[in-house]
Structure 1
C-alpha cells in the first residue's frame, strides 16, 4: 500500500504566501513519517500558482538523508519538466491531463490535444533524466462544465498513456463528484486491463463521503492513494467552492483497520498533524 502525502496540493490554493522556511519545516516533518512519496511542490508559472513560486528554495532546505520517502513535483509543460528534472532529489514528475476540455484549458492553458503532445515531450525528458512520469487524469470521474464524460472516455485516455509508456496513472476526483459505483467500475476495469500500469486514486471528498470512496477503490484493487493531512486544500483551478483533499489520517486509520501494516512512524505523524496548524491556520 502506497500513501502519497500532498502538502503541495494542500498549500497551493492559499492566497497568503506561506514563508519558505515554514513550508520546508513542515515538509521535513512529513519526511520523517514514512510515506511512500511526498508531493512537495510544483515548477509552474508563478502567475498561475503564486504559492509555489519558491519550490526550488524549499527543495534546498529539505533534509532527505534519513528519509526513505521519494519526492514528486507537479509540472504543467515541457519547460517546467526540464526545470524539475535537473534536480537529483526529485524522483517523480506529475502532469495533470484532463478528460474535460474546459478544465484542461483552465488548468494548463492548453487543449487536450496540445496537452497530449506536451506529455510526449515530458516523457522524453523523464527518460533522459531517469525520472518517472506520473500522469493525473483530472476530472476522471466527471466534471461540472457539462463536458462529455463516460468511463469509456477515461479508458481511451489510459490507452493513449500506455502508448507513451506511462507507468503510473492517478485517477483524480477533482471536484468530488466520484461515486462508489464509477470508482468501482473504473478501477476494476483498468487495473486488470493494464497490468503494466500502477493506478492511483487522488480523491477529493467531504467528511461524509470519504470512506465509501476509499472502500470502493480498495475493493477494486487500487493500492496507491493521495492524501493531505486534515484534508487541507483542493484544486484552485477547479471551481469557486473547493472540495477538500482526502484526509491522510483517514486513509491511515482505514487501512490499519483492514489489518495492513503501513510502516509509518506514528510519533512523527502526530508531530506533523500538530505542525500543520502552524502552516494552514
Structure 2
C-alpha cells in the first residue's frame, strides 16, 4: 500500500512571519486525525537557520497522539539536533538531508558531503540504540543548478553507501523541480530492484501541470512512499519559482485513488484540515 507522508514542517519553515505555536499544534493535531502514515512535524535545527521551527519542542508537547495511527518525523541537520530529538519517545523517525551536490550540502548543513556522511553514520548508530528509524533525504537527487557532477550512477553510489550504513528509508528529493518522468522512473526502478531491503520515497517538487506525470513515473518505478503538503505549500527557496512547491497532498490523494490505490484516509478529517489552512498560512 502507498504511504503518504504529510509535511507541515516543510510547508511552514519558509514562512517569514512566525506562526503561533498553538496554531501550529492545532493544525498538526488535525492532520493526525486524517490517517497519514507519517507527519513530518518539525525540526531540531538552529533557530538562526530556521526561525520558524524554534518552537518544535513546545509544539510536540501540545500534540495529541493517543488516537492517531500516524507516526512522527523530525528533521535534524547534525548530531546535536539528533540527540535532542532522541530525547522524545513520541518521535519515530529522524530525517537527515544528504545531498549529491557538494554546493547544496554546504549551503544546507554547512558541511561537506564527506562530513555529512560521517554524521549520517553517527546518527544511524544512535538511532539503532534508541529504537528510532533514520530517513535520509537525497537532496538534488534528480539534478542541480550549480554545475556539480550529477548522474544516475552517482545516485546509485550514494544509495550503496547508505545501504552499507544500514539505512532503511531513503527519499529521493527533486529539490528544484527538474526531474523528468523518464529519469524518475529510471532512478526508482533501478534502486528498488537493486536494494529491495530499502524503502524508497519520493520528495518531489513540481509545477502544477507536471504533478500527475511525475507521480505516475514514480509509481511506475516502484515507489510506494510519497511526501506531500496540503495545497503545495513549501518547496526550495533556491528554485526561484513560486509554482515549484511541494506536491499538494489533496492532488496526490486524488491521483493515487484514481489509479486504484486504497489509502484508508479519513476524508472528513482531511476536509477539516483544509479549512484550517487560511489561519495557518495567512501571511
The TM-score bracket by the shorter chain reads over 0.9
Aligned twin of 2:120 = 119
CA-CA distance at 1:222 after TM superposition: 0.4
The CA RMSD measured in Å over matched residues stands at 0.8
Task: Tell me what 1:174 maps to.
Answer: 175
Q: CA deviation at 1:274?
A: 1.0
Please report how far the alpha carbon of residue 218 of structure 1 lies from its aligned counterpart in structure 2 after TM superposition: 0.5
Distance in 1 of aligned mates of 2:82 and 2:240:
28
Residue 170 of structure 1 aligns to a residue whose secondary structure is strand
CA–CA distance in structure 1, aligned partners of residues 109 and 210 of structure 2: 29
Task: Report SS of the residue matched to 2:91.
Answer: coil
Q: Unmatched 5+ residue regions in structure 1?
A: none
Shift of 1:125: 1.4
Aligned pairs (5 A) from 1:1-281: 1-236=2-237, 238-242=238-242, 243-281=244-282
Q: Does the 8 A contact of 1:91 with 1:132 survive in 2?
A: yes
Describe the SS at the equivalent of 2:97. strand
TM-score (norm 1): 0.98
How far 1:203 sits from its partner (Å)?
A: 0.2
For 1:156 and 1:43, locate their aligned partners in 2 and report how far apart those are by CA, in whole Å.
Answer: 28
TM-score normalised by length of structure 2 = 0.98
Give distance in 2, aligned partners of 1:146 and 1:11: 29
Which string of whole-angstrom CA distances, capped at 9 and with x for unpartnered residues, describes residues 119-176 of structure 1? 1001011112100000000000001111110000000000000000000000000010
Q: For 2:14 and 2:222, how far apart are their aligned partners in 1? A: 31
Q: Tell me which moved more, 119-128 or 30-39.
A: 119-128
Give me the whole-angstrom Cα distance separating, in 1, the residues matched to 2:37 and 2:236: 22
Cα distance 1:165–1:145, how it changes in 2: closer, same or farther (>3 A)? same
The alpha carbon displacement at 1:241 in A equals: 3.7
Mapped partners of 2:81, 2:264: distance in 1: 33
